[in-house]
């Protein structure tokens, strides 16, 4: 069977699921869950699925879907590709100037990432292998996970329910004032017990001085990591000030968007936990390279993810391929756009999940059930 990719169709779909309880971060509030699904079909009728990051701004999902329709689809249908990596490189190079001219490198990177994931799913289906095996046969189907997105309002209740569901590690959102943050951490540690993994994410919400002031107060909670305490775009020397002031492992990477910039981060030796987001930048083609480099350096690879089920499954397969002691981020808050698709990841046992043995991502999205959330774009 030929490994070449000749597409005959690219289809985008936008979904929005209203939230009963908005998700709050240090920089804004999500009032619904968006999802951009990208379906590719080759000239033999084989299909693959991808997902583009679209959480912010609120109108981002429709915009990204239109970028795929108007810019990427013509590029993809016009030629044959040897493999997904060649297609990724073609899309990236062909849109580089347009992304600069329109001041939209983020949306272009996110849509290319979504298409790239779909192409890898298609390739794995054609090969008859689970995606993680196509990426690296040496991996394994079982991975560790953690419950993310614990909001500042009574987080111990959601965390307890997730603990009862099989989770053993949890991440709290902080950056809402010292008293509130410390109170929440105290309640979580008391509720979950001393053995539970506990991490925090400030979502870039502190200045360097604020972070330095918070570090001693956080030490006593035995945190697995402190994620993005300061802005992701400040010089690494500012991160080094934090690194030298704490024993808490520092985490980041979801807002790094070039291989070269990850190398700069590695050279700075400040990140203990590295968290690329394959739906936000790089897809599998570029993020696999970064993940292997993370493992090579002896750092912890914990893919960042917040979105629907396809992107989550892709992140899971990437972690399964790369291996190590990393954890997959699974949002603890209800999201039908995740749970309807990524059914296998709902079965958490002793802090881990096992990926299905089916080819590709191992799932066919249930478009009939999802139709209630479909919106026009």
Per-residue model confidence as pLDDT tens digits over 222-264: 999 999 999 999 999 999 999 999 999 999 999 999 999 999 9
Tokens of residue 132, six digits? 């993680």
Angle at 263 between CA 147 and CA 275, to 5 degrees: 5
List of the chain residues with pLDDT < 70: 1-2, 25-27
| CB 310, CB 361: distance < 8 Å | yes
Residue 2's pLDDT is 60
At residue 68, the pLDDT reads 98
Per-residue model confidence (pLDDT) at position 59:
87
Closest CA to 132 of 140, 217, 41: 140
Residues in the chain: 377
- What global pTM score does this model have? 0.96
pLDDT recorded at residue 29:
78
Q: Note the pLDDT of residue 26.
A: 65
**All structural domains of the chain:** 7-129+366-375 (3.30.390.10), 133-354 (3.20.20.120)
Q: What digits encode the pLDDT tens for the residues 142-161?
A: 999 999 999 999 999 999 99
Is-contact 75 68, C-beta < 8 A?
A: no
Residue-level pLDDT at 1: 45
- Other CB atoms within a 10 A radius of the CB of residue 367 amount to 13
Tell me how far CA of residue 176 lies from CA of 27, 128, 172, 306, in angstroms.
Answer: 10, 48, 11, 20
**For the chain, where are the alpha helices, taking DSSP H only?**
60-67, 73-77, 84-101, 105-127, 131-135, 155-164, 178-192, 208-218, 236-243, 259-268, 283-296, 309-322, 336-339, 367-370
Closest CA to 42 of 130, 118, 128, 129: 118
**By C-alpha distance, which of 189, 185, 213, 220 is closest to 201?**
185
């Amino acid at each position: 069977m030929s490994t070449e990719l000749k597409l005959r169709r690219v289809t985008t779909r936008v979904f929005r699921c209203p939230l009963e309880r908005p998700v709050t971060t240090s920089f804004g509030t999500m009032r619904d869950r968006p999802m951009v699904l990208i379906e590719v079909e080759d000239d033999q009728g084989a299909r693959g699925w991808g997902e583009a990051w679209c959480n912010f701004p609120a109108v981002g999902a429709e915009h990204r879907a239109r970028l795929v329709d108007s810019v990427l689809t013509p590029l993809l249908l016009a030629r044959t590709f040897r493999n997904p990596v060649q297609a990724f490189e073609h899309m990236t190079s062909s849109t580089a100037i347009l992304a600069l001219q329109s001041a939209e490198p983020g949306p272009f990177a996110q849509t290319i990432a979504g298409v790239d994931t779909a192409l890898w799913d298609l390739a794995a289906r054609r090969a008859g292998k689970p995606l993680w095996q196509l990426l690296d046969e040496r991996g394994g189907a079982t991975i560790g996970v953690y419950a993310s997105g614990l909001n500042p309002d009574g987080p111990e209740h959601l965390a307890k329910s997730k603990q009862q569901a099989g989770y053993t590690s949890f991440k709290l959102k902080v950056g809402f004032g010292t008293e509130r943050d410390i109170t929440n951490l105290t309640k979580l540690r008391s509720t979950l017990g001393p053995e539970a993994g506990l991490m925090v994410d400030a979502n870039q919400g502190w200045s360097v001085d604020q972070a330095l002031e918070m570090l001693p107060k956080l030490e006593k909670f035995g945190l697995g990591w402190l994620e993005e305490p300061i802005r992701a775009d400040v010089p690494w020397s500012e991160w080094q000030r934090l690194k030298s002031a704490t024993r808490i492992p520092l985490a980041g990477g979801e807002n790094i968007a070039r291989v070269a910039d990850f190398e700069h981060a590695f050279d700075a030796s400040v990140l203990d936990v590295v968290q690329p987001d394959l739906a936000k930048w790089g897809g599998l083609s570029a993020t696999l390279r970064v993940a292997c480099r993370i493992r090579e350096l002896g750092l912890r690879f914990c893919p960042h993810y917040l979105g629907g089920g396809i992107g989550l499954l892709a992140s899971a397969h990437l972690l399964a391929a790369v291996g190590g002691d990393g954890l997959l981020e699974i949002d603890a808050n209800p999201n039908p756009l995740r749970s309807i698709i990524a059914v296998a990841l709902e079965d958490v046992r002793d802090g881990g999940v096992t990926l299905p043995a089916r080819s590709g991502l191992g799932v066919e999205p249930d478009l009939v059930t999802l139709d209630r959330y479909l919106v026009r774009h």
